[in-house]
């Protein structure tokens, strides 16, 4: 039994999907961090990049979007044979300064701008309309072949040369008149977008999606049996309006308790766990998950799990358990891009194949496009997972202001060495003493070793006086040069 817990009452929107009381999906959208996927812009081509077969598009914001040649409407609409089109540069289909209607299909991340598409799909109950699709397709669920052929003929009779149509499963029960009326409605929606884009003199947004509502709706549309609880009346009413017919019309319960809905279902701890670096497995083994901008590295460790007397069997059992949890964590954390997994070393190829099969089976439950590449000669499993928005940690965490994202800080001894070198630049200056504010550890490097302090003062030609510096990491500040007596008073005050 699935359960969807929706926290829509606060500024930060969250939902959690549980299967048999186990969290399998988590989504959190903070104010100002809403995904822009699906938003439509009127943009201007800023730069044509023949080497990348792409263009940079000015969207009116800080970052330009990247639009590949194959996602250009002009490329899709071209009637030239595919072999001919593929051999043409992006400059054959678009030029600098040209205005384009584009949609974001992947959010900006780090230093990279958003990824764009100029190909639009307008979804109706019976058909999906593509203004530049140039094809007709029929859902594989529609049988028999005679009905598929009939719908395909209808599609070619209704569409223009450049248009594309996909007949959804529901079209099997709909009349030709109903399908025609729906097509006209979707065409009209596209024309409205074109007019809005033409009316803008500068690059800018022309259609904004509600990413949280759409994400919840998409999740509900995939579930045939689900208990839904939400803590906001208006959001509940919107959902009920969208899912008032069909298999998903089952009741949506309003959570009225003053206790936060996530806390009521013990989900706050699960959110915290999804942000931690170490994840313990039921067997006593554990995972270490390190996310970087370039890739994610996962290390599998036996931990407290000793297993059987056979080391190979222990490794396989631990690795297969880890594979299931890794697939779950990738989905929970919404990790995308390149993922490298360092499983416990296995000597036999048959063992690696068992773990590989387990990983592939676990990832089949992921709605995101994933691909298991295989093991490297060093035994590292390579995985890729489609990324359309920032991961959970990217959305909810920031670089530590102490270590600046390095995960480590300089030791007191290293910082003391920097202080010594800087002071040497003032050696033999016409001063009696110097006042240095330093953290306790840095000061003790000198005050705790009288010989070092005495030797340094002899080389400098003046005395060192320390005062306490309040800092979360080892640090110092050279405050003042002057007479030893005056600086000693200032160090105390």
**Do 364 and 451 share a domain, yes or no?**
no
**For residue 55, is it within any domain?**
yes
- Distance of alpha carbon 20 from alpha carbon 22, whole angstroms: 6
Q: What is the pLDDT of residue 248?
A: 43
**Do 377 and 351 share a domain, yes or no?**
yes
**Do 366 and 320 share a domain, yes or no?**
yes
Helix (H) or strand (E) holding 361: helix 349-363
Q: What is the pLDDT of residue 245?
A: 44
The single residue listed with the structure tokens 């997994």 is 341
Instruction: List the structure tokens of 290.
Output: 């390190």
For residue 6, give the CATH number of its domain: 3.30.420.140
Q: How many domains does the chain have?
A: 5
**For residue 203, is it within any domain?**
no
Those residues whose C-beta lies under 8 Å from the C-beta of residue 284, and which sit 6 or more positions away, are: 302, 303, 304, 305
**Do 295 and 381 share a domain, yes or no?**
yes
The single residue listed with the structure tokens 């208006």 is 234
Length of the chain: 493
**Do 137 and 115 share a domain, yes or no?**
no
The single residue listed with the structure tokens 């005495």 is 454
Closest CA to 242 of 209, 271, 277, 218: 218
**Do 13 and 45 share a domain, yes or no?**
no
**For residue 149, is it within any domain?**
yes
**For residue 256, is it within any domain?**
yes
**Do 168 and 228 share a domain, yes or no?**
no
Q: What is the pLDDT of residue 224?
A: 73
- Distance of alpha carbon 107 from alpha carbon 115, whole angstroms: 7
Helix (H) or strand (E) holding 382: strand 380-385
**For residue 406, is it within any domain?**
no
What are the average pLDDT values for consecutive 10-residue runs of the chain, which has 493 residues? 91 92 90 83 95 95 94 90 92 95 88 92 90 89 86 93 90 91 94 92 91 88 85 92 57 90 92 92 93 91 73 91 96 94 94 96 91 94 90 85 81 93 88 94 89 90 93 93 90 78
**Do 280 and 391 share a domain, yes or no?**
yes
**Do 306 and 380 share a domain, yes or no?**
yes
Residue 144: cis peptide before it, omega within 30 degrees of 0 = yes
Order across the sheet with 122-123: list the strands: 122-123, 127-130, 164-167, 136-138
**For residue 403, is it within any domain?**
no
**Do 51 and 29 share a domain, yes or no?**
no
**For residue 424, is it within any domain?**
yes
The single residue listed with the structure tokens 């594309």 is 164
The single residue listed with the structure tokens 């009696």 is 432
Q: In this structure, are residues 152 and 166 in contact, taking their beta carbons and an 8 Å threshold?
A: no
Closest CA to 124 of 199, 189, 207, 50: 189
Instruction: List the structure tokens of 26.
Output: 């988590």
Instruction: List the structure tokens of 321.
Output: 């358990």
- Distance of alpha carbon 333 from alpha carbon 391, whole angstroms: 6
- Distance of alpha carbon 451 from alpha carbon 444, whole angstroms: 12
- Distance of alpha carbon 315 from alpha carbon 307, whole angstroms: 8
Three-state secondary structure call for residue 85 = helix
For residue 337, give the CATH number of its domain: 3.40.630
- Distance of alpha carbon 69 from alpha carbon 46, whole angstroms: 14
Domain boundary among 396, 420, 438: 396
**For residue 165, is it within any domain?**
yes
Cα-flanking dihedrals φ and ψ of residue 20, to 5°? 55, 45
Domain boundary among 172, 198, 224: 198
Longest dimension (CA), the chain: 102
**Do 109 and 183 share a domain, yes or no?**
no
Q: What is the pLDDT of residue 222?
A: 79
For residue 114, give the CATH number of its domain: 2.40.50.140
- Distance of alpha carbon 113 from alpha carbon 254, whole angstroms: 39
Domain boundary among 198, 222, 243: 198
Q: Which of the 8 DSSP states describes residue 112?
A: B
Those residues whose C-beta lies under 8 Å from the C-beta of residue 350, and which sit 6 or more positions away, are: none
Q: What is the pLDDT of residue 98?
A: 95
Those residues whose C-beta lies under 8 Å from the C-beta of residue 87, and which sit 6 or more positions away, are: none
Q: Which domain holds residue 436?
A: 412-492
Q: What is the pLDDT of residue 244?
A: 60
- Distance of alpha carbon 315 from alpha carbon 302, whole angstroms: 8
**Do 49 and 96 share a domain, yes or no?**
yes
């Amino acid at each position: 039994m699935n359960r969807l817990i929706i926290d829509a009452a606060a500024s930060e929107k969250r939902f959690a999907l549980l299967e048999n009381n186990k969290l399998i999906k988590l989504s959190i959208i903070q104010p100002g961090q809403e995904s822009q996927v699906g938003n439509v812009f009127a943009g201007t081509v800023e730069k044509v990049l023949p080497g990348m077969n792409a263009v940079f598009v000015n969207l009116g914001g800080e970052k330009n979007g990247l639009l590949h040649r194959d996602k250009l409407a002009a490329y899709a609409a071209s009637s030239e044979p595919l072999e001919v089109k593929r051999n043409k540069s992006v400059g054959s289909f678009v030029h600098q300064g040209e205005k384009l209607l584009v949609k974001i299909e992947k959010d900006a991340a780090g230093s990279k701008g958003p990824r764009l598409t100029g190909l639009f799909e307008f979804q109706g109950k019976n058909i999906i309309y593509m203004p530049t699709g140039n094809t007709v397709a029929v859902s594989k669920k529609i049988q028999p072949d005679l009905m598929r052929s009939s719908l395909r003929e209808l599609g070619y009779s209704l569409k223009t040369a450049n248009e594309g149509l996909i007949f959804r499963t529901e079209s099997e029960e709909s009349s030709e008149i109903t399908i025609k009326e729906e097509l006209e409605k979707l065409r009209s929606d596209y024309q409205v977008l074109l007019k809005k884009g033409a009316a803008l003199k500068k690059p800018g947004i022309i259609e904004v999606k509600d990413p949280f509502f759409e994400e919840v709706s998409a999740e509900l549309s995939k579930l045939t049996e689900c208990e839904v609880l939400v803590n906001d009346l208006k959001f509940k009413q919107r959902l009920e309006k969208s899912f008032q017919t069909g298999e998903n019309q089952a009741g949506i319960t309003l959570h009225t308790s003053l206790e936060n809905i996530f806390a009521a279902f013990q989900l706050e701890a699960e959110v915290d766990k999804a942000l931690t670096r170490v994840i313990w497995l039921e067997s006593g083994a554990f995972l270490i998950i390190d996310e970087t901008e370039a890739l994610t590295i996962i290390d599998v460790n036996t931990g407290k799990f000793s297993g059987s007397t056979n080391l190979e069997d222990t490794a396989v059992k631990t690795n297969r358990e880890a594979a299931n949890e890794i697939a779950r964590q990738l989905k929970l954390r919404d990790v995308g891009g390149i993922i490298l997994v360092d499983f416990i070393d296995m000597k036999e190829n048959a063992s690696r194949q068992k773990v590989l099969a387990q990983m592939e089976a676990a990832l089949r439950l992921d709605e995101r496009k994933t691909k298991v590449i295989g093991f490297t000669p060093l035994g590292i499993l390579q995985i890729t997972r489609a990324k359309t928005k920032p991961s959970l940690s990217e959305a909810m965490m920031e670089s530590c202001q102490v270590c600046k994202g390095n995960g480590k800080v300089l030791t007191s001894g290293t910082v003391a060495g920097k202080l010594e070198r800087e002071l040497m630049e003032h050696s033999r200056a016409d001063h009696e003493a110097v006042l240095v504010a330093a953290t306790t550890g840095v000061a003790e490097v000198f005050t705790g070793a009288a010989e070092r302090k005495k030797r340094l003062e002899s080389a400098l030609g003046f005395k060192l006086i320390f005062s306490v510096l309040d800092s979360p990491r080892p640090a110092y500040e050279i405050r003042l040069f002057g007479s030893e007596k005056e600086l000693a008073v200032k160090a105390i005050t």
